[in-house]
Amino acid sequence: MRFEMISISRIQLDNRLFEVSFLADLTALKISVQKKGIVQPIQVRSEGDLFQIVSGFRRLECAQALGLTQVPAFILGEDLSHLECFERAVEENFFNRKFNCVEKAGTIQKLEKEFQVSKEILIQRYFPFLGVSSSEAVYQFYKNILILDPVLQEYVVRSNLPTHVVEEFFKFNIQDQKTITPFLQSIHFSVSTLKEFLIWIYEMSLRDRASISDLLSEPLNAIVRNPAMDARQKLPILRQWLKNKRYPMLSGLETRFVLLKQKLHLPLESSEFFEDNKIHMKLSFQNKEELEQWIEKMKEASLKPEFDELLKMV
Amino acid sequence: MIHYRPSKIYIDPSVQNSPITQTILKTFPDISCEYTSEKPSILKKLDRYSDPLLEGKKHLWVTQNKGKLVKKCGASTSALQNLVCCNYFILDFSFNCHFECVYCFLQEYTNLPLMVVYANIEEMLKTVQDLLDRTSSSNIRIGTGEMADSLALDEITGFSQQLVPFFSIQKKAFLELKTKSDRIQNLLKLDPKGQTVVAWSINPPSYIQKYDFKTALFEERLEAAKECEKAGYKIAFHLDPLIAEPTWKKDYEELVGQLFSRFNPAWVSLGALRFNANLRSIAQKRFPNTPLTVGEFVSTPDGKKRYFRQLREELYQTVYGYITKYNRQTPTYLCMENEVVWKNSMGRVPSSEQALEKQIVSASLS
Ligand code: SF4
């Protein structure tokens, strides 16, 4: 390996065999390159008179954007195989930053497809290197990431979603993924509400034997594309819509309970999901008069037919 | 029904002379066998497979049960308050099952996905005998179908040949063999003397096809039950899990009709579909597109997912109604349910677990 300043014009910029980054944020790097130049030389290998880039794709992009014509580079020995060069690229990237899940998936795919690493060796040797556990389930997870729609891949990375949520996307085909995308783009989901959304629509499509696009056409028009609502307002409305559809009987009971409670003018609560047969009531008062008012209200309420209906409900 | 055939057998030397081990070895003389007092090494390699649970079941570990050999059923010891229980005892003779029921809670035991047979049968029977010598109850039901199907492996282990004769001379206890199989050949050679009940977990035929993979079909189960009845066994049914499919009312009405026109069951239990914490996602992963998990489930205080209470009550009330149309005397009880649900569905709450136990056993076996 030798060090040299090389001209960018001698680098094969479109040869991305050793690239591992996905959605790299270049802002900080650009500032650093502008201030101090390229501190850490890129790595290249000779290809005749030209150079093939092994690591430093992002540094090179910044250099180009800043109008540099030369970059410092380590020229790797010709005895290194393609696989060894790729290992160096991964290693260098890995020690400088955390890989996102699409980058890990891309690395695994390159090792397998471009560098003919067997699945067995991939899992046993390279998975620990990538910081993932050596199991078939993990292998499948990263394979599935790569068949996600690119827009979703980007969403997964930008939202830094945990594995158990990313897995929920795998249940949907590309067409369904495209249907889901506008929801992700216009609604502020938390991790838990996103998971709930994905599970519920999947289960409803199974239950009703309906396509995701049929299922979601109503909220797409009424909520997602509604210009009168902002992203935060949309979430509770969407959740209520979903809950009514996913749990029609339970939602019906809850709605009825709220209606009856309003008619009785009492602060009544059911147990969670009506699991026990009691109605709870919590009241506050400051003096005897207020307490007597409550007693009066309760007496009145207990004579109403709505009260009997409420008792029957639980 | 799919018969079990392991790809490898691991034998703990401490049980190599057990009659159970000997029967297994005789059944599979051609299968590679490793003697080891350690846990089988395959356990460390299972996560290399896309379905470690499925792969694990190809490995049969014959060992001794070092834990509690006889214990009370989960309902009796549940942390859930007001759970009505039937004082049932469990004899752990085996762990895991080669059948693939979508709702099976054993799928959650991912740390031990092997087929495990506990071969220290003498010790097990001695523990049962000690329990019976100590108890004042004369209606004890002891079952083997909690952590495994009671009969699915009987053709290779011969457990029934040890258990049925043992219980046939008992005065205070009954053996319940709970199954979804049709492996009754060993049973037919024995005389239970009224002390063994063979119970089939059963659902409408189309549910069995959709959710009980590798098990005996509906008709195969009922034919096996008929054979057992002829051989002197009492027959019971567990309508568990009750599944609220869109057509459940009609389906269960037909099912109850079929059962009661052909049998006079010793008892019937009802249990609505329920899941432990992670089972729902495990089942969805192992059985993609299964409609089993799409019902209206909610979290209940014991951490399980169940149909919400009103729906469970409707299921129980309706199915119990079908049963009483045929026979008002058949002891029918709810499995793992609380007092509220009992009261609203069955119109009564048993006063104690002993009372329920007595009601189940004395009405049916006296
Ligand atoms: S028969 Fe029972 S133990 Fe076996 S898979 Fe089905 S539910 Fe599980």
Are the Cβ atoms of A275 and B311 closer than 8 angstroms? Answer: no
Same domain, A1 and A86: yes
Q: Is residue A235 part of a domain?
A: yes
As for the ipTM of the complex, it is: 0.84
Last-in-domain residue among A211, A246, A281: A246
Q: Is residue A155 part of a domain?
A: no
Q: Is residue A196 part of a domain?
A: yes
Q: Is residue A156 part of a domain?
A: no
Tell me what pLDDT residue B146 has: 86
Q: Domains in chain B, ordered, with CATH?
A: 66-365 (3.80.30.30)
Same domain, A89 and A110: no
Contacts of B24 (CB under 8 A, 6+ apart): B9, B60, B62, B117, B156, B157
Tell me what pLDDT residue B364 has: 61
Same domain, A168 and A234: yes
* CB atoms near residue B351 (< 10 Å): 10
Same domain, A6 and A87: yes
Contacts of A254 (CB under 8 A, 6+ apart): A270
Segment among A61-65, A92-96, B341-345 with least mean pLDDT: A92-96
Tell me what pLDDT residue A94 has: 82
Please tell me if the CB atom of residue B104 comes closer than 6 angstroms to any atom of ligand 1.
yes
Distance from CA of A97 to the nearest CA of B (A): 28
Three-class DSSP category at B180: coil
Are the Cβ atoms of B310 and A277 closer than 8 angstroms? Answer: no
Last-in-domain residue among A83, A118, A146: A146
pTM above 0.80, yes or no: yes
Same domain, A181 and A227: yes
Same domain, A19 and A108: no
Q: Is residue A73 part of a domain?
A: yes
Residue-wise DSSP of B244-267: --TTHHHHHHHHHHHHHHH---S-
Same domain, A83 and A105: no
Whole-number average pLDDT of chain B: 92
Above pLDDT 90, what percent of chain A?
86
CA distances from A276 to A272, B76, B335, B347 (A): 8, 20, 17, 16
Task: Show the domain range for A58.
Answer: 1-97
Please tell me if the CB atom of residue B180 comes closer than 6 angstroms to any atom of ligand 1.
yes
Distance from CA of B118 to the nearest CA of A (A): 29
Above pLDDT 70, what percent of chain A?
100
Tell me what pLDDT residue B356 has: 81
Tell me what pLDDT residue B79 has: 46
Write out chain B residues lying below 8 Å of A135, CB-based: 47-48
> 3-state secondary structure string, chain A?
CEEEEEEHHHECCCCCCCCCCCCCCCHHHHHHHHHHCCCCCEEEEEECCEEEEEECHHHHHHHHHCCCCEEEEEEECCCCCHHHHHHHHHHHHHHHCCCCHHHHHHHHHHHHHCCCCCHHHHHHHHHHHHCCCCCHHHHHHHHHHHCCCHHHHHHHHHHCCCHHHHHHHCCCCHHHHHHHHHHHHHCCCCHHHHHHHHHHHHHHHHHHCCCHHHHHHHHHHHHHCCCCCCHHHHHHHHHHHHHHHHCHHHHHHHHHHHHHHHHHCCCEEECHHHCCCCEEECCCCCCHHHHHHHHHHHHHHHHCHHHHHHHHHC
Q: Is residue A257 part of a domain?
A: no
Q: Over range A132-152, report the average pLDDT.
A: 96
Q: Residue A211 burial by CB count (10 A; 0-12/13-18/19+): exposed, middle or buried?
A: middle
pLDDT band at A232; cut points 50, 70, 90: confident
User: For chain A, what is the domain count?
Assistant: 4
Q: Is residue A251 part of a domain?
A: no
Write out chain A residues lying below 8 Å of B290, CB-based: 206
pLDDT at B150 over 80: yes
Same domain, A42 and A13: yes
DSSP annotation of B111 reads T
The crossing angle, in degrees rounded to 10, of helices A212-219 and A231-246 is 130
Of all atoms in ligand 1, which is nearest to the CA of residue B97?
Answer: 4
Same domain, A15 and A68: yes
Q: Is residue A170 part of a domain?
A: yes
Are the Cβ atoms of B48 and A136 closer than 8 angstroms? Answer: yes
Beta bridge partners of B297: B307
Q: How far apart are CA A34 and CA A59, in angstroms?
A: 11
